[in-house]
Structure 1
């Protein structure tokens, strides 16, 4: 902002030189009057801390000084946003809303407008009033520009912050710092967290991310999301049903499989969900008819065959070991039943028992494992679990 100096020859030749001088001499008094009126009429101004009120005072003073300079040289392009708002720190746009800034500007303009008859030289009142009207329009545009730029800067910073959190979760490097970054983005640490993985659509990744956020708002879910390479990653919180969460957010994903990892308790544990979803996404090629979306746990057989050690461990520890601990009869009956093409009668003949006994034992298998042997997909999972369990037993005996 240019400072007022001695009256030059150019100022003397100004058509409203007298008004310019009087405006310069009154700028301090006008700024003080504007601050007084804000204190009287704007409750939010009175409630602000002293530091912010002092910055607002500087902005009001700079606005009046910028109007004086603009009135002196109306033909010269002026960067009004720099002249007026350049005196305030960037943090002020966070502390003061756009609506409050508009009220501040309006109050300052009104103060100057009520003093026009007193400030203007005789016969120049209308010229000063007309100039103030034009300047008010320019300052309104400048205000909108300042807040738009601040919003863009915050959006870009938030996007980088969100990308860091998502990448840390996927790579298994999430720490307390990432929890703080997530909190800064509005993540409120929900109890149920799930990671979704799928292919990102071609085009602008920012549009994809915004589409995920819109879908999340509609579904009342919290999300942290980003495009990592060709993958779209969505960390979702607020639902204990990962399949339902995936269905509500699946729209922005590109065609192809979308895998939902298991539900975990917090963002730190989300790495486990992300790793399961990534393993499931790699293994989806082995199950062409997999539903979309699909749970990572429904892909345990394919994941195990693809070399995922977590899937192998889960199949052994959650299916084979509980059956083993429930007695040899259950393991033997399940094995024979699966070998006999899921025939109750065939299994009964091989075991020399009544078909009802086989039926009862298979119900017990379902109770113990959660996988019904009569279902084709479950039977496949159980078969892989038996194979891996026997291999694990064999390794222990060697």
Structure 2
């Protein structure tokens, strides 16, 4: 293998340095190149139109911008052939102010196709531009020049992609922050459209701790995994917290545990479904309230629904959780028939014993079982499951402590019996002990 000192003087120097050791070009060839630049440009544009179907489909202003790039490329080649220099000139001389327009008009693949056509036009005319003795060096110069232009084009697109990526990240962070703050405005809708959000399905906010060092590799992995499990995703990292806004999750029972593995240590909480991205603020607030209260339930699953944390959220002072318990559990129990609220209260206060509840209510044990199943049908929470019974007991407590006009049953009178009052007192005492612990 030849060493650096053995490289021939006529070979191109790595890194695009000057080719000082090469023989100077024939002045007559240079003059002929300058004299034919106009015809070369015309031939190039004609060849682009003939060889590239996508070029013919461009708008007139886009065709004009690319034509200017091609003409500048030929003019710069003549200057470079006369005096080879460092390729730094390529960005300014060939592309000029066109990089932004270029990257918007065509892809990098199409840009390289354009460069190939320009080089081919010049190379095909080498026999007419130089005598036989100078045709070899001229062809070599064309190839070296095309290499530099191709690398410069790749650099233009890479810089444009980095700029767009940085802007997209900032815009995504603004959208996530606006959702967390509950902003609902035309500006938020335009930002949502700008980040490319398209999902019209269920939207959920999931929060937890971020990894120790969330670098670009972590974000790429996060987007790759969530991209397979959800239609859309927005990512926000605020200090030590990681926020995901998920749209169109196909199978939450499988997707949520997989996504939670990407979070840092600690609890991961997801909020209730929202109808739209603009309305996702309630889901985000519930998720953050659940994350604050999650440490009160050491055995909580990961991830855990913010609704499963209603008791802990009530104890931490979350008024939204209190209203939710009253609306979704306590009021439906009051509105139901067959004394469901009294049966549930007695069952919870008597140690979850079916026989003791039956004796206290002067009914058969099967009647108690039936009523407890009805409680599950009405509220969605099963009193025979210890954790769900705890949620139901909390709902009874906060419901009875709520203002009378908000919990009154039909006819305006809040139901209550001596047995219910005793059950209420027992449930309140149990909840107070849990708070003190």
TM-score with structure 2 setting the length: 0.84
Find the residue that maps to 2:49 and give its secondary structure.
helix
Find the residue that maps to 2:278 and give its secondary structure.
coil
Which residue does 1:383 correspond to in 2?
Answer: 393
Which residue does 1:237 correspond to in 2?
Answer: 247
Which residue does 2:71 correspond to in 1?
Answer: 61
Which residue does 2:372 correspond to in 1?
Answer: 362
Moved more, 70-79 or 226-235: 70-79
1:324-343 correspondence to structure 2 within 5 Å: 324-327=334-337, 329-343=339-353
Distance 2:95 2:87 in 1: 17
Deviation at 1:96, TM superposition (A): 0.3
Find the residue that maps to 2:100 and give its secondary structure.
coil
Which residue does 1:212 correspond to in 2?
Answer: 222
* Correspondence 1:351 to 2:372: no
Distance 2:320 2:106 in 1: 51
Distance 2:296 2:78 in 1: 75
Which residue does 2:402 correspond to in 1?
Answer: 392
What per-residue deviation string (whole Å, max 9, x for no partner) do you get for residues 196-232 of structure 1? 1011101144333322210022224310112111111
Find the residue that maps to 2:300 and give its secondary structure.
coil
Q: Tell me if the contact between 2:25 and 2:82 (Cα under 8 Å) persists in the aligned partners.
A: no
Cα gap change, 1:318/1:293 in structure 2, threshold over 3 Å: closer, same or farther?
same
Q: Tell me if the contact between 1:192 and 1:240 (Cα under 8 Å) persists in the aligned partners.
A: no
* Correspondence 1:16 to 2:26: yes
Cα gap change, 1:316/1:240 in structure 2, threshold over 3 Å: closer, same or farther?
farther
Q: Tell me if the contact between 2:338 and 2:371 (Cα under 8 Å) persists in the aligned partners.
A: no
Deviation at 1:311, TM superposition (A): 0.5
Moved more, 241-250 or 103-112: 241-250
Which residue does 2:291 correspond to in 1?
Answer: 281
Moved more, 240-249 or 210-219: 240-249
Q: Tell me if the contact between 1:195 and 1:236 (Cα under 8 Å) persists in the aligned partners.
A: yes
Cα gap change, 1:242/1:296 in structure 2, threshold over 3 Å: closer, same or farther?
farther
Which residue does 1:7 correspond to in 2?
Answer: none
Which segments of 5 or more consecutive residues in structure 2 lack a partner in the other structure? 1-22, 409-437
Q: 1:271 is matched with which residue: 258, 261, 281?
A: 281
Deviation at 1:89, TM superposition (A): 5.0
Distance 2:298 2:86 in 1: 69
* Correspondence 1:79 to 2:72: no
Deviation at 1:133, TM superposition (A): 1.2
Deviation at 1:297, TM superposition (A): 0.9
Which segments of 5 or more consecutive residues in structure 1 lack a partner in the other structure? 1-12
Cα gap change, 1:115/1:165 in structure 2, threshold over 3 Å: closer, same or farther?
same
Cα gap change, 1:144/1:90 in structure 2, threshold over 3 Å: closer, same or farther?
same
Which residue does 1:91 correspond to in 2?
Answer: 101
Deviation at 1:351, TM superposition (A): 1.6
Deviation at 1:251, TM superposition (A): 2.9
Q: Tell me if the contact between 2:208 and 2:242 (Cα under 8 Å) persists in the aligned partners.
A: yes
What per-residue deviation string (whole Å, max 9, x for no partner) do you get for residues 45-98 of structure 1? 000000000001000001111111111211455421222112425132022011
Q: 2:160 is matched with which residue: 150, 161, 185?
A: 150
Q: 1:135 is matched with which residue: 134, 138, 145?
A: 145
Distance 1:84 1:129 in 2: 20
TM-score with structure 1 setting the length: 0.92
* Correspondence 1:322 to 2:332: yes
Which residue does 2:203 correspond to in 1?
Answer: 193
Which residue does 2:7 correspond to in 1?
Answer: none
Cα gap change, 1:122/1:76 in structure 2, threshold over 3 Å: closer, same or farther?
same
Distance 1:220 1:248 in 2: 12
Moved more, 279-288 or 89-98: 89-98
Deviation at 1:244, TM superposition (A): 3.8
Find the residue that maps to 2:265 and give its secondary structure.
coil
Find the residue that maps to 2:249 and give its secondary structure.
coil
Distance 2:288 2:110 in 1: 47
Cα gap change, 1:167/1:216 in structure 2, threshold over 3 Å: closer, same or farther?
same
